[in-house]
Every structure is written in structure tokens, then in C-alpha cells.
Amino acid sequence: MKLYDSKPAPNPRRVRIFLAEKGMPLAGGNIEHIEVDIARGEQRNEAALARNPLGQIPVLELDDGTCISESVAICRYFEGMQPEPPLFGADPVAQGLVEMWNRRVEFGLLGPVGVAWRNGPIVARMAPGRFRQNEQAKEDAEEAARRFYRRLDGWLAERAFLAGEDYSIADITTLCTVDFATALVDLAPDPALSHLARWHAEVSARPSAKA
């Protein structure tokens, strides 16, 4: 199988961290790793659009040609192939909580961070004219992201990880979003949010975070 990936992009990193947590190596394993140059638009060439008509990565292409896109869908596939350690929850309650947190973070943080990025200066430099930029949309999205950081801080005061005492895909989504927001959107969490900072230090210290 082949994984179409991009080192600097946040969504493909979710899959790499997930694989690292599963102990499934990208180098030397049975997954062929293909780096896609997003800046050059390789995710939208004819072959790429045949794999994913949305022109986005990551994409997992199975040996029979089946293509799975959407980071969480790819992670679900790997969870099915290798259930241990469970990263979508070990029992129905945990599964519900993991799903709840993952969706909250996708809609409540990853979405606004994406809007702030599309309307921000780095995109204007990297891909001039690709998006019609709107300063008000950027500011509203930044405020929404900061509000979500404050909520996260409160939640993490009471639990080790997003969905409870076990690390899960919800932590992976949050880590990738926070790191992308910090590095490329100028939207780092306020360091005074000490519970969020504690959580971030802990998940960043896991070997998988280097993926």
C-alpha cells in the first residue's frame, strides 16, 4: 500500500503519529511512503485527483487500488488492521468519548485554525490569489480558536488526555492542530493556560510526536 503524505501539513501528520503509536513503521515497513509537494500543487494533478477528487492529502492507496482519504478514515483502517493499542477507545463508552472529543476539536479548533490560515499572510505569500482573503474572517477565526484553547485548558485540568486517562486519536488531532497553529498561523496557545501547556508538553514528549 502507498501513503501520500506531506511533512509540513497538519492532517497527514495525524496519520504518521497514529502509525507511530501503533508501532507501524513508515520506513522499511509494508507502507510505501510518497511525499507530495503541496506548494507545487502535486495533490491536484490528474493522477492525484483520480485518487482523491478533493485534491487533498493524506491518501492511502491499498494494493487493490482502493483509495481512502480523510485522515480519520485512514486511521480507522489501521485501527482495524492492528487494534492494539486502541486509539479510538477500548470499549463503547471510551469510543463515544473519543469520537466526541475528536469531532469537537475538528470543528471547534481545526476548522477555525484553517480559516485563520487561509486568510493569513503566509498563504498570501505562498499561494497569492488562491483564496479571496477576508481580514474579518481571519480575526473571527482567531478569536474562536483562542476561545477553544481556554475551553481545552478547563477540560484538561480534570483529565490526563482529551477523552480521559488514555491517549487517543483526539489527542493526535489536537496536537497536530496546536503545532500547526503555532508554527504557521501565529496562533500559539497562551502559555498561561497551564493545563493545556502540561498536556502539550506530555504529548509532545511521546516518541510518536516526531513523526
What one-letter code names the amino acid at 85? P
Closer by beta carbon to ligand GSH, 12 or else 193: 12
- Give yes or no for residue 98 binding ligand GSH (CB under 6 A): no
CA atoms of 205 and 194, how far apart (whole Å)? 16
- Give yes or no for residue 170 binding ligand GSH (CB under 6 A): no
Report in angstroms how near the CB of residue 103 gets to ligand GSH at its nearest: 12
- Give yes or no for residue 185 binding ligand GSH (CB under 6 A): no
Count the site residues for ligand GSH by CB under 6 A: 11
- Give yes or no for residue 43 binding ligand GSH (CB under 6 A): yes
Report in angstroms how near the CB of residue 198 gets to ligand GSH at its nearest: 27
State the DSSP code for 3: E
72 class by beta-carbon count within 10 Å (0-12 exposed, 13-18 middle, 19+ buried): buried
Beta-carbon-side half-sphere exposure of residue 204 (alpha carbons within 13 Å): 11
Helices (H), 35-70: 46-51
Signed CA dihedral, 178, 211, 6, 25: sign only: negative
- Give yes or no for residue 156 binding ligand GSH (CB under 6 A): no
CA atoms of 95 and 93, how far apart (whole Å)? 5
- In the shown chain, the binding pattern of residues 59 to 78 toward ligand GSH, with x for contact by CB under 6 A and - for none, equals -----------xx-------
Q: What is the DSSP string of 5-38?
A: E-TT-HHHHHHHHHHHHHT--SSSSS-EEEE--T
- Give yes or no for residue 119 binding ligand GSH (CB under 6 A): no
- Give yes or no for residue 55 binding ligand GSH (CB under 6 A): yes
User: Which residues in 9-38 contact ligand GSH (CB under 6 A)?
Assistant: 9-11, 38
Which of these ranges, 23-31, 50-58, 87-95, 203-211, lies near ligand GSH under the rule CB under 6 A? 50-58
Closer by beta carbon to ligand GSH, 107 or else 186: 107
- Give yes or no for residue 57 binding ligand GSH (CB under 6 A): yes
Q: Which three cell numbers stand for residue 189?
A: 496557545
CB 21 within 8 A of CB 77: no
- Give yes or no for residue 56 binding ligand GSH (CB under 6 A): yes
Interacting residues with ligand GSH (CB under 6 A): 9-11, 38, 43, 55-58, 70-71
